[in-house]
Amino acid sequence: MKFTAAQIASILNGTIDGDASIEVSQLSKIEEGTMGSLTFLANPKYTPYIYKTNASLVIVNNDFVAEEDIAPTLIRVPDAYQAFSTLLEFYNNQKAAKAGIEKTAIIGEETAIDDSAYIGHYVVIGKNVTIGKNVSIHTHVVIEDDVTIGNDTVVFQHSTIHSSTTLGDFCVIHGGCVIGSDGFGFAPKEDGTYKKIPQTGRVVIEDHVDIGANSTIDRATLGETRICRGVKLDNQIQIAHNVEIGPNTVIAAQSGVAGSTKVGSNCVIGGQVGIIGHLKVGDNVRIQGQSGVTSNIKSDQALYGTPAMSYKDYIKSYIFFKRFPSIVKRLEALEKQPHE
């Protein structure tokens, strides 16, 4: 597909510096731009590339001021990064959208699938499932009984959606996810073995949630595990039974949240963070990567370390951690000095 600068500027409500008729047919990084490609400049660190890129069209912030001659046409917008994201969404929507059910799919009884939805090859769908408008279910997905999937949601290859799960509108479930599997519940017995506790709850995923590849979200023991509106989960994340993740919280890869913990809204949690069970994490909390959280956290805190502590305290303490070998040597030298 080809688009002119004028068409793109119209989509983004931007203004043009240069040739409005120039056409582009692909997207590129600014440092790898080629003729006929479109890119963007948002991070000031990449500013030098705008003077030597071969891209035909560059999206920039309104306040960008060129210090040298620039070959590509510019589209000025309030926020270049957000504008490029909007353009990616538009580009994806322009691709030929599939609809209908492939012949190799297996569909259970009493299942309602909107005519605009797409069900891919070798998909297995159970009984009493509801699938909304413009949903895409890709190859080899398994959807068990009593699942509801809202409008404009995408479930990618080899994911499994277990029974009684609800997915909202505009969700993206990446490949290999398992949603609604049993929570980790076992009761110790007198003989040292463990008896499995039935997991009878469900998973509720609200609108505009992204779940990264190979992530797992366990069903509740009783009640529900809930992922609130706007949550973004990276790849390989474990969310245990009865956990609640508040609106617009983001969690980076390989992190885990143990059972019955409640995480607030607008939190930012780094990679490989571990949060133990039955805690309450407030709103607007920042947790640095590889931290271990073992106690409740009030809102508006920034934490680091294992067990996690105040970010500022950790950084101050780390100075002493690094100096600890030399401090020990000094102490040993003092101990060897003769006493009066």
Among the residue ranges 86-100, 141-155, 309-323, the one predicted with the least confidence is 86-100
Element spanning 330, H or E: helix 311-336
Q: Where are the beta strands (DSSP E) in 108-215?
A: 112-113, 118-119, 124-125, 130-131, 136-137, 142-143, 148-149, 154-155, 160-161, 166-167, 172-173, 178-181, 186-188, 194-196, 202-205, 210-211
Structure tokens at 252: 């980076």
Structure tokens at 316: 């101050």
How far apart CA 204 and CA 224 sit, in angstroms, is 7
- Judgement on whether residues 139 and 201 belong to the same structural domain of the protein: yes
pLDDT exceeding 90 applies to what percent of the chain?
Answer: 82
Neighbours of 323 (CB within 10 A): 11
- Judgement on whether residues 56 and 105 belong to the same structural domain of the protein: no
pLDDT at residue 95 in the model: 55
- Let me know if residue 326 belongs to a domain: no
pLDDT at residue 93 in the model: 63
**Catalytic residue set:** 241
CB of 236 closer than 8 Å to CB of 254: yes
- Let me know if residue 318 belongs to a domain: no
SS3 (DSSP) at 80:
helix
Mean pLDDT on 105-127: 96
- Judgement on whether residues 146 and 272 belong to the same structural domain of the protein: yes
* CATH code, 27: 3.40.1390.10
Entry pTM = 0.78
pLDDT tens by residue, 238-289:
999 999 999 999 999 999 999 999 999 999 999 999 999 999 999 999 999 9
- Let me know if residue 320 belongs to a domain: no
The parent domain of residue 241 ranges over: 100-311
pLDDT at residue 98 in the model: 81
pLDDT at residue 340 in the model: 59
- Judgement on whether residues 15 and 129 belong to the same structural domain of the protein: no
* CATH code, 200: 2.160.10.10
pLDDT tens by residue, 161-218:
999 999 999 999 999 999 999 999 999 999 999 999 999 999 999 999 999 999 999 9
pLDDT at residue 128 in the model: 97
Looking at 73, 94, 115, the residue that finishes a domain is: 94
pLDDT tens by residue, 59-106:
999 999 999 999 999 999 999 999 998 888 777 665 556 889 999 999
